[in-house]
Structure 1
Amino acid sequence: MNGEDQIQKAYESILGHDFEKAIEWFEKAIAAEPDNAAYHYKLSITFARSNKLFQAVEHASKALDLERDNEVYRYHLQVLHARELVDRAQKEISAKSEHGERAIFLLKEAIVLDPLAIEAYLILGEVFALRNDYSRAYQVVMDALRLEPNHELAKQQAARYQLKLKL
């Protein structure tokens, strides 16, 4: 079986909602063709969908190493790095660090890497709200709503922050 046959088996597994089996098939395809950047990229996507971010980044990086000029691979890796930053920011918030400065920095960096990361905007809004900076909280959530006008949580946050601004 060559790598392409194994990729087809991986897709069949995905269609059957068996992501662990899909990962196994992608890994077999990579074993057959270790320098195939597309295989690493596809495995990275599956790892990311399975919330296995470390492995997703590892394979996205490998794909980009193999094809340095591939903008799709570059963007995918950026999005994964943004997700890592959001995760780190959430840990900072959970640790209740002083005024959330580190979390704010991480979330802003995540937004630079992935301007469509709605979750980063919403969490950043919450961090500003925790600091009673409702003006900035409202502004950030409105940025999220410009990206996704029907996002229900963003609408709720915006309304809550706007109310606080009027008090």
Structure 2
Amino acid sequence: MDGEEQIKKAYEAILMHDFEQAVEWFGQAIAISPNNAVFHYKLSITCARSNKLSKAIEHASKAVMLDSTESQFRLHLQHLQARELIVQAEAYFTESEVELWRAIGLLKQAIRLDSINIEAFILLAHGYSLLKLYNEAIDAIYECLKLDPQHEIGQRLLLEYQQHLK
């Protein structure tokens, strides 16, 4: 057995919107073929969609370890790591200037990992605005708007931050 039947059942579960069952089937496929990078990658995607970020990162890391030549695996892992940094950064959005700077540092790391993550740019702009660093906030919003010129929140924040400079 090579695990392909379990993968097929995992996809059937996904089509039925039973993501927990899909995770189980992917896990069974990995039990049969633990060194199959593609199986780890597929499980990682399903875990990420089910908000199981730690498990998603674990299996994405395993996929990269097993096949470091596959750029898709590396990009997926970086995206997940960026999401994890964003979650950590959100916890630092408080009244404390020190914690805001921690959040900004984490968001910059997230952007280095995933340079097209609009949420990271929006949060970075928000962090700068809380510190009243409106030029930096505007720069972050410009980066967001380069990715999505129609981003409504980005457009609104740009106007808001520009008003603060006047």
Q: TM-score range by the shorter chain?
A: over 0.9
The alpha-carbon deviation at position 96 of structure 1 amounts to 3.9
In the alignment, the residues of structure 1 paired with residue 150 and residue 29 of structure 2 have an alpha-carbon distance, to the nearest angstrom, of 40
Name the structure 1 match of 2:121.
121
Letter in 2 for 1:102: R
Could you tell which deviates more after superposition, 150-159 or 49-58? 150-159
TM-score computed with the length of structure 1 as normaliser: 0.93
Name the structure 2 match of 1:14.
14
In the alignment, the residues of structure 2 paired with residue 84 and residue 104 of structure 1 have an alpha-carbon distance, to the nearest angstrom, of 14
**Residue 84 (structure 2) pairs with residue 84 (structure 1):** yes
- Aligned pair count reads 166
Inter-CA distance 161–74: structure 2 relative to 1 (3 Å threshold): same
**1:11-42 deviation line (CA, Å, top 9, x unaligned):** 11112211111111111111111111100000
Asked if 2 retains the 8 angstrom alpha-carbon contact of 1:99 and 1:131, the reply is: no
Any stretches of 5+ residues in structure 1 without a counterpart?
none
Asked if 2 retains the 8 angstrom alpha-carbon contact of 1:41 and 1:73, the reply is: yes
**1:94-135 deviation line (CA, Å, top 9, x unaligned):** 484526111111101110100011110000000001011111
How well do the aligned residues superpose, as a CA RMSD in angstroms?
Answer: 1.5
- Within 5 Å, give how 1:1-167 maps onto structure 2: 2-94=2-94, 96=96, 98=98, 100-166=100-166
SS in 2 for 1:69: coil
SS in 2 for 1:22: helix
SS in 1 for 2:34: coil
Any stretches of 5+ residues in structure 2 without a counterpart?
none
In the alignment, the residues of structure 2 paired with residue 27 and residue 16 of structure 1 have an alpha-carbon distance, to the nearest angstrom, of 18
In the alignment, the residues of structure 1 paired with residue 26 and residue 158 of structure 2 have an alpha-carbon distance, to the nearest angstrom, of 42
In the alignment, the residues of structure 2 paired with residue 95 and residue 50 of structure 1 have an alpha-carbon distance, to the nearest angstrom, of 32
Letter in 2 for 1:48: A
In the alignment, the residues of structure 2 paired with residue 67 and residue 99 of structure 1 have an alpha-carbon distance, to the nearest angstrom, of 37
The alpha-carbon deviation at position 138 of structure 1 amounts to 1.2
SS in 1 for 2:17: coil
Percent identity over paired residues: 49
In the alignment, the residues of structure 2 paired with residue 119 and residue 8 of structure 1 have an alpha-carbon distance, to the nearest angstrom, of 34
Asked if 1 retains the 8 angstrom alpha-carbon contact of 2:97 and 2:131, the reply is: no
Moved over 3 A (4+): 94-97
Asked if 2 retains the 8 angstrom alpha-carbon contact of 1:30 and 1:36, the reply is: yes
TM-score computed with the length of structure 2 as normaliser: 0.94
